[in-house]
A and B are shown apart, each in its own frame.
Chain A
Amino acid sequence: MTSVQHIQAEPAQRKALLKTASAQQLDFLFTRGVKALMVSFVVIGLALPLIAMLGKVFDVEGGLNGVWQMLTSSRFMWLVGNSVKVSLSTVALVVPTAYVFAYALQRSWIPGKSLLRGIALLPLMAPSMLSAIALIYLFGNQGLLKAWFPDGIYGFSGIVLGQVFYNFPMALMILISALGMADARLYDASVSMGANHWKTFLNVTWPGTRYAVFASSCLVFTQTITNFGIPVVIGGDYQVLAMEAYKSVVGQQKFSEGALIGSILLVPALISFAVDLWMRKLRGSQVSSQAPTYVAPSNRLRDSILLLAAAAVAIALLSLVVMAVAASLINFWPYDLSFSLRHYDFESSGGVGWLAYRNSLLLASLTAVVGTPVIFTCAYLMEKTSSGWLDGLLRLLCMLPMAVPGLVMGLGYVFFFNSPSNPLNGMYGGIGLMVVCCIMRFLTPAQMTATTALRQLNEEIEAASLSLKVPLLTTYRRVTLPICLPALLEVFRYLFVSSMTSVSALIFLYSPDTILAAVAVLNLDDSGNIGASAALSSLILLTSAAISLMLYGLSRGLLRHTQLWRA
């Protein structure tokens, strides 16, 4: 009786109570549920295949003794040295260049920004083969600018140049996003305290972006050390670890050796993970959500220098792309330079060209549509909520993909998904499994972009939503996502374009119906149809560029409508 009275007396309060309870439940479901789902997704899509692959390590001849012998051999040390040398050189060239480029785009008044940005993203839009082929046409023994590399392009310089080209946009994406958000008040304060540009840079800009510098260095290092496509094409006899894994598996069917090298290539990712944890503890002030966005004042000298630097980089990148596309239109290099479309007639080179192209379009669309919300939501929950051990586990799992060479991942998928005892066996050879594989492959960089953007948001937003008893999901949808829309679209574009251009893992997963364009590029090149492979690469490039331009237009349109509050 009393309770009924109670309810009748205070319906409003009761309603509020219910609301709180359901909001909490919803939060719990959203947070834990999504994280748990993500953990199982990564476990099935990466950890278990990886374990299946790692299990192969113990098949090395001579057991653990054999493993030890291999690791301590002088040849192996030489390979490790080469890999580290190539990767460090690539980082040293890419990150500062990309920083200056990103700085020019975000903190200056130079003209032609969208053009520069577009050019800088071009390398992402073609398979890595394309840049290597272009380098050979430019600097090879019959190259246009052969004199620039009197010792030949094959080897260390070729690999590093190819890697620089290929990695530049990845580093740039992270740095652009970091330099895009800055608290104008800090700059006002710095200027009013009489600091000059350099001092302001050191005290305000650098602390605000050093996380991104570190993140991009890690990304470039691990991407370089695990990439085998570029060394295979242009490495000559200069060998690196990833290529060794590729050769062990493909050439000698030594799965265990490949697996062993693959597991060694996990080390950089684990180190990155440890340092990332450490940096999170040290993390300083971030841009608060109500901060006005900093807009750099105009400065002619600074802008001219930045324009020159950015233009030089853009021209270098563009010339590689132009060279590759031109090569696809030349009848017979270097003896018959007449224009010809014969390389685009895929019928005469096996006829898989167009089917592969359609399949790649489907794969890329599915990966982007499914992957973007999954990855962004995961990054959001990892940044903004805590769920104890689940967080550490998820963080570790999400760092792993970056260090798993595509080839090892592909083999892991074969061993795991193709095993008759696996209930998911039916997925093998289908596009669904390829989508899973792509999301896994590109998880870490995409998530880093998301995380970098999310870290620049203040945690007050969640605190405010908590005190207003608004479910987290609502806050996420209504506040965080709109703020992060530019980063969200970057992730979408990254996933689409990467799936369109990726080869290494997928080469083990396709079936006759699901052959992909980038795989076909490799097959065509492998069988000596370099012209046709340049042609198919150019098609991939055009498609990716068109999609990117569309997204760019969309992003601009949305920015105009949703980001007015920034001004």
Chain B
Amino acid sequence: MIKTWNTLTAAVLGLGITSSAFATELTVYTAMENEQLAGYKKAFETQNPDIEIKWVRDSTGIITAKLLAEKDNPRADVIWGLYASSVALLGKEGMLEAYAPKGVEKLDAKFRDPQNPPLWVGNGVEATAVCVNTVEAKKQNLPIPTSWEDLTNPVYQGKIVMPNPASSGTGYSAVNAWLQIMGENKAWTFMDKLHTNIGQYTHSGSKPCTQAAMGEYPIGISLDFRAITLKRQGAPLDIVLPKEGLGLDINSVALIKGSKKLEAAKKLEDFAISEKAFLLYQPNAAALARPEFNVKLAEMPDAYYDRLISVDFNKAGSQRAKVLEKWRERYDGKSEPKN
């Protein structure tokens, strides 16, 4: 059936099937940014001409939901570029195949599954930074914040956007970081205060920074790399790294148990932590699982590496449901938008 449709597609649209007849098609689920995918695919396929990557890309929430929904009959062969807290959850569900890729010993122990062989290994770190629109800050007379605590200042009322942790991986890594840095009680008090300043909770982790860049809301708690991209496009942004520390998650690689293309999948995992791959991650992530590849991005403030906290991803994954439940009870709904 699928073949028929594919042939039809090709016939109707003159779409040649580009892969050679014998290439193994590897279905790779990812939540990485769209613009990064083409380069990763090309590099891997050049090195492995007999394997072709088929991306399925979506937000962290949707990809995780999709993987869980397909649990009994997985479609994915590999996960490449999904947050460790989500991947750890899949590991708990018994959906992952443990594998020690070539060069696993070179990874920073913080950025791989502690068990041996690991269920997942990390590549690029994604941290939560604060984007401040300098034009709007000036116009609206807002001080530039320097800490998470600063964001609870009443001058920012309705001016801050952050991702909803229930739908966004970035949002969850921020909440997780506050819980870890401040301790449970203090963190919830902080979030209570922050909540009164939030203009909007977004569904995606990149959007708050986009909104800050467009001046829609002057301040956005967002993915660090999005801030860099937007700054390069000419957005009037200041990247603020709160002094208490930055929440983070790490894009990870893992094999799906039951994949019929395990050998090809292993090659992909090998590649994903190879030197070549890390050179590709370099321009897209300020911190990497192999720290020797870390290169400071010109747009990123110096304090970046010192501010990254160390996260227990298994814990972050297993307490996720509970934390989100509480978060939703407190901040999601009930309240009319405050203006």
Pick the residue among A79, A152, A247, A425 that contacts B166 (CB under 8 A): A247
In the bound complex, what is the Cα–Cα distance between A426 and B1 (angstroms)? 7
**B216→A358 contact, CB < 8 A:** no
Does A97 belong to the interface (CB within 8 Å)?
no
The reply to whether B5 and A349 contact each other, CB–CB distance below 8 Å, is no
Say yes or no: B339 contacts A432, CB within 8 Å: no
Interface hub of A331, A526, A530 (most chain B Cβ within 10 A): A526
A251-B167, A512-B54 as given contacts; A347 in contact with B200, CB under 8 Å: no
Say yes or no: A418 contacts B1, CB within 8 Å. no
Complex: how many Å from CA A348 to CA B333? 37
* Contact among B226, B321, B337 for A237, CB-based, below 8 A: B337
B9, B64, B165 pick with most chain A CB within 10 angstroms: B9
Interface size on A, residues (CB 8 A): 70
B234–A336 contact, CB under 8 A? yes
Instruction: Identify which of A361, A418, A526 contacts B73 (C-beta below 8 A).
Output: A418
Is A34 on the interface with B (CB-CB < 8 A)? no
Pair B216/A429 contact, Cβ less than 8 Å: no
Contact B337 A238 (CB under 8 A): yes
Contact of B13 among A154, A237, A362 (CB under 8 A): A362
Q: A-facing mask of B208-222, CB < 8 A → 1, else 0? A: 011000111100000
Beyond A140-B216, A253-B68, A420-B73, whether A239 also contacts B5 by CB under 8 A is no
- Tell me the bound Cα distance from A333 to B236 in angstroms: 11
Interface centre among A336, A359, A527 (most CB of B within 10 A): A527
Contact indicator per residue, chain B 3-42, by CB within 8 Å of chain A (1) or not (0): 0111011001101000000000001000001111110000
Which of B55-63, B283-291, B301-309 contacts the other chain?
A: B55-63
Which residues of chain A have C-beta atoms less than 8 A from B164's C-beta? 247, 251
B135 in the interface, Cβ–Cβ < 8 Å?
yes
The listed residue (A155, A359, A414, A527) touching B66 by CB distance below 8 A is: A414
A350 touching B66, Cβ below 8 Å: no
| Contact across chains for A419 and B1 when beta carbons are under 8 A apart | no
* Nearest CB of chain A from residue B230's CB, rounded to whole Å: 8
A361/B13 contact (C-beta < 8 A), A253-B64, A414-B70, A528-B206 known? yes
Interface pair B58/A427, CB less than 8 Å apart:
no
B183-225 with Cβ < 8 A to chain A: 198-201, 203-204, 206-207, 209-210, 214-217
Report yes or no: A332 in contact with B233, Cβ–Cβ below 8 A. yes
Contacts A141-B216, A426-B1, A512-B55 hold; do A151 and B339 have CB atoms under 8 A apart? yes
A188 within 8 A of partner (CB): no
Interface size class of B (residues with CB under 8 A): 35 or more
Whether the Cβ atoms of A252 and B1 lie closer than 8 Å is no
Bound-state Cα–Cα, A327 to B313, Å: 40
Looking at the assembled complex, report how far the CB atom of A312 sits from the nearest CB atom of chain B, in whole angstroms.
Answer: 28
Does B261 lie at the interface of the complex (its beta carbon under 8 Å from any beta carbon of A)?
no
Q: Are B65 and A253 in contact (CB under 8 A)?
A: yes
The answer to whether A350 touches B37 (Cβ under 8 A) is yes
Chain A residues 147-164 with CB under 8 Å of chain B are 151-152, 154-155
- Kindly list chain A residues whose C-beta atoms are within 8 Å of the C-beta of B217: 141
State whether A526 touches B27 (Cβ < 8 A).
no
Q: Kindly list chain B residues whose C-beta atoms are within 8 Å of the C-beta of A362.
A: 8-9, 12-13
B4 / chain A contacts, CB cutoff of 8 Å: 432
Interface residues of A in 342-391 (CB under 8 A from B): 347-352, 358-359, 361-362, 365
**Interface flag for A78 (CB, 8 Å):** yes
Q: Is the CB of A414 within 8 A of B69?
A: yes
B339 touches A152 (CB 8 A): yes
The contact of B210 among A253, A350, A510, A530, by CB within 8 Å, is A530
Task: Please determine whether A527 and B204 come into contact, CB atoms closer than 8 angstroms.
Answer: yes
User: Which among B1, B5, B226 is the interface contact of A528 at CB below 8 angstroms?
Assistant: B226
Residues of A within 8 A of B165 (CB): 251
Contact A511 B56 (CB under 8 A): yes
Contact B216 A347 (CB under 8 A): no
CA distance A140 to B215 in the complex (A): 10
B198: chain A residues at CB < 8 Å are 237
Instruction: Across the interface, name the chain B residue whose C-beta is closest to A359.
Output: B9
A251-B166 in contact (CB<8A): yes
**Contact yes or no, B13 A152, CB < 8 A:** no
- Interface 1/0s, chain A 269-299, versus B by CB < 8 A? 0000000000000000000000000000000
**CB closest chain-B residue, reference A152:** B339
Q: Which residues of A contact B15 (CB under 8 A)?
A: 358
> Considering the chains assembled together, what is the distance between the CA atoms of A513 and B72 in angstroms?
22
Contact A523 B34 (CB under 8 A): yes
Asked if B298 is at the interface of the complex by the 8 Å CB criterion, the answer is no
**Interface residue? A112 (CB, 8 A):** no
Question: In the complex the two chains form, what is the Cα distance from A352 to B47 in whole Å?
Answer: 22
B9 surroundings in chain A (CB, below 8 A): 358-359, 362, 431, 513
Indicate if B336 sits at the interface (CB-CB under 8 A).
yes
A418:B69 contact, CB within 8 angstroms: yes
Within the complex, the shortest CB–CB distance from B162 to chain A, in Å, comes to 12
Minimum CB–CB distance from B62 to chain A (whole Å) comes to 5
CB of A411 within 8 Å of the partner chain:
yes
Bound state CA distance, A247 and B335, in angstroms?
Answer: 17
**Which of A152, A420, A427, A529 has a CB less than 8 Å from the CB of B34?**
A529
Contacts of A336 in B (CB 8 A): 234
B100 sits at the interface (CB 8 A)? no
Q: Which of A152, A361, A429, A529 contacts B75 (CB 8 A)?
A: A429
A75 interface residue per 8 A CB criterion: yes
A250 to B217, CA, bound (A): 25
Decide yes or no whether B127 CB sits under 8 A from chain A: no
> Could you give, for residues 325-339 of chain B, a 1 whenever the CB lies within 8 Å of some chain A CB and a 0 otherwise?
000000011111111
Do B333 and A239 touch (CB < 8 A)? Answer: yes
Which residues of B approach A to under 8 Å, CB–CB? 1-2, 4-6, 8-9, 12-13, 15, 27, 33-38, 54-59, 61-62, 64-66, 68-70, 72-73, 75, 135, 164-168, 198-201, 203-204, 206-207, 209-210, 214-217, 226, 229-230, 233-236, 321, 324, 332-339
Closest 3 CB pairs of A and B: A350-B34, A512-B54, A251-B167
Supplied contacts A154-B199, A430-B6, A526-B204, 17 more A-B pairs, CB within 8 Å: A75-B334, A155-B336, A236-B199, A247-B164, A250-B61, A331-B234, A350-B34, A359-B9, A362-B13, A365-B12, A427-B1, A432-B1, A432-B4, A523-B59, A527-B35, A527-B206, A530-B210
Interface set of A (CB-CB < 8 Å, partner B): 74-75, 78-79, 136, 140-142, 151-152, 154-155, 232, 236-239, 244, 247, 249-253, 255, 331-336, 347-352, 358-359, 361-362, 365, 411, 414-415, 418-420, 425-432, 507-508, 510-513, 523-530
Cβ contacts A to B, 30 pairs, < 8 Å: A142-B215, A237-B198, A237-B333, A237-B336, A237-B337, A238-B337, A239-B332, A247-B203, A250-B61, A251-B164, A251-B165, A252-B321, A333-B214, A334-B215, A347-B38, A350-B33, A350-B57, A358-B15, A361-B13, A414-B66, A415-B69, A427-B1, A432-B1, A511-B27, A511-B75, A523-B57, A526-B58, A526-B59, A528-B230, A530-B210
